[in-house]
A and B are shown apart, each in its own frame.
Chain A
Amino acid sequence: MAPLEPYEQVLIDDAYLEEDPHAEIACEQCHGGNPRASKMKAAHKGLVPDPTYPDPSKACGECHEEIVATNKTNLHVSLNAYKDIIGKRASDNKGVRKKVFKAMDTHCFACHSSCGQCHVSRPDSVEGGFVEGHVFQKTPPMDTNCTSCHGSRVEMEYLGKNKGLPGDIHYIKERMKCVSCHTGEEMHGTGKNYTCRYDVENAPRCKDCHEDALGPQAALKTHRIHNGKVSCQVCHSVAYKNCYSCHVGKDKKGIPYFKTDKTEMAFKIGLNPRPSKERPYKFVTLRHVPVSKETFAFYVKDGLPNFDVLPTWKLATPHNIQRKTPQTERCKSCHGNKKLFLLEGDVAPEERAANKGVIVPNNAVPR
């Protein structure tokens, strides 16, 4: 998505002033600054560009009290998942740990959302700018907001932008948008402090819509046979993006940058790293995440000595669902087809210890 021209980013549309009830509130009440000053510098003194981050209670809370109440536990705001997984891998040494988290502050934590960055502007991480001249969007637009952050994986998969691979049937056939499955209730958080999106209780499940197709009474024999044993994506997903070795640092001017070594399209079935009541499956699709032992090497030596406590091939729910896939052609498409499974040889030697719980032993590939 191309960034907006600088003037467009801050241009207020007449529609906002004429139709949006939020325009009844004076600008300075949310954003500060001095509306009487005639010079830009003086007018912008004390300006708060996003008054909804990190604490939206003053700007939004007066009217939207219930939604704001759970804001701190909203994963898009708390970024608890990053904190948890890096925290587990990071050194126990206080000084080293502090440097790791400082690096995360500069890089990883720069990608967060807020009320304003979903409902008024594009997210800061993609240079911001009003979505529609400051008109509040009850439903955040998919293309300017959701996929501007979730672009390289979700957008490419869902819309079918990966060369030679089809888009998700929910989009291609039904034109479903992100919010068709990911509701406002899910996005706003529940008040429970989750550390992983797969634990979120009101996150969408296939069975929410396809209840009859699942379970021991399912009409399709293959669904009955595989019920509870494999995730839906194992049969109904196709190749998806895997990224490797992300390094972060600062350039000569002190501007933060990141580098990832390679990206590859692959489809790998592995052992379920986090079986739960909702996902009891033995086999799931796994995606390689870009973390590496040296991710924070620019800031601190040996920052992630506990690297092996978590797999680098993570539980994945690729957004490229198909009714028919190479796996659904016949039984032998999967059974005995070792190429589909994450075997030891597929994992880099330095990451094998981390992934021992998800690598499928040769003798465990279904025959």
Chain B
Amino acid sequence: MVRPKGKGIWYLGAGFIIFLGFFLLWGVSDSAQSQDESTCISCHTSVRDLVNITREIAAKAPSEKSTESEGEG
């Protein structure tokens, strides 16, 4: 079968647009997924988690501030 002249360019363009669409969708979903999966965000936006964790840390390692400091610096 002989394709009409110029149709190849049309197919090539359509193919590129479809590829670009997939590429962008993949990028966006990956970015959204990585933000969802980030434990940095999930933990550091949760007051409850942070209160519990910082209490645990304080119990294990009390504040490292010398009580001997005196006067104004």
Residues of A within 8 A of B (CB): 5-7, 10-12, 14, 17, 26-28, 31, 33, 35-38, 40, 43, 152, 241, 243, 246, 249-251, 253, 255-263, 290
Contact = CB atoms under 8 A, between A and B. Distances in A.
Interface in B27-72: 34-35, 37-41, 43-45, 47, 50-51, 53-55, 57-58, 64-72
Given A6-B58, A12-B44, A40 B72 contact: no
B73 interface: yes
Contacts of B55: 6
B39 A257 contact: no
Given A12-B45, A256-B66, A27 B71 contact: no
A28 B70 contact: no
- The secondary-structure label for the interface of chain B is helix
A33 B40 contact: yes
A5 B51 CA distance: 9
B37 A35 contact: yes
Contacts of B68: 249, 251, 257, 259
B39 A43 contact: yes
B36 to A, nearest CB: 11
Contact of A259 (B45, B57, B69): B69
Interface residues of B, number: 28
B70 to A, nearest CB: 4
Residue among B51, B55, B68 with the most chain A CB within 10 A?
A: B68
A1 to B, nearest CB: 14
B39 A11 contact: no
Contact of B39 (A38, A263, A290): A38
22 contacts: A7-B51, A11-B44, A11-B47, A12-B44, A12-B45, A14-B45, A26-B38, A27-B41, A33-B40, A35-B34, A36-B38, A37-B39, A152-B72, A152-B73, A241-B72, A243-B73, A249-B68, A250-B66, A251-B66, A255-B64, A255-B65, A290-B73
Nearest to A28: B40
B66 A257 contact: yes
Contacts of B69: 257-259
A137 to B, nearest CB: 18
Given A11-B47, A290-B73, A35 B53 contact: no
Nearest to A42: B39
A28 B38 CA distance: 9
A7 B47 contact: yes
A6 B47 CA distance: 11
A165 B46 CA distance: 45
A36 B37 contact: yes
Contacts of A36: 37-39
Given A6-B58, A7-B50, A40-B53, A12 B41 contact: yes
Nearest to A259: B70
A257 B45 CA distance: 34
B72 A260 contact: yes
A261 B51 CA distance: 39
A91 B46 CA distance: 53
By Cβ-Cβ distance, the 8 closest A-B pairs, closest first, are A260-B71, A6-B54, A257-B66, A7-B50, A27-B40, A255-B66, A257-B68, A35-B38
Nearest to B31: A26
Interface in B10-40: 34-35, 37-40
B55 to A, nearest CB: 8
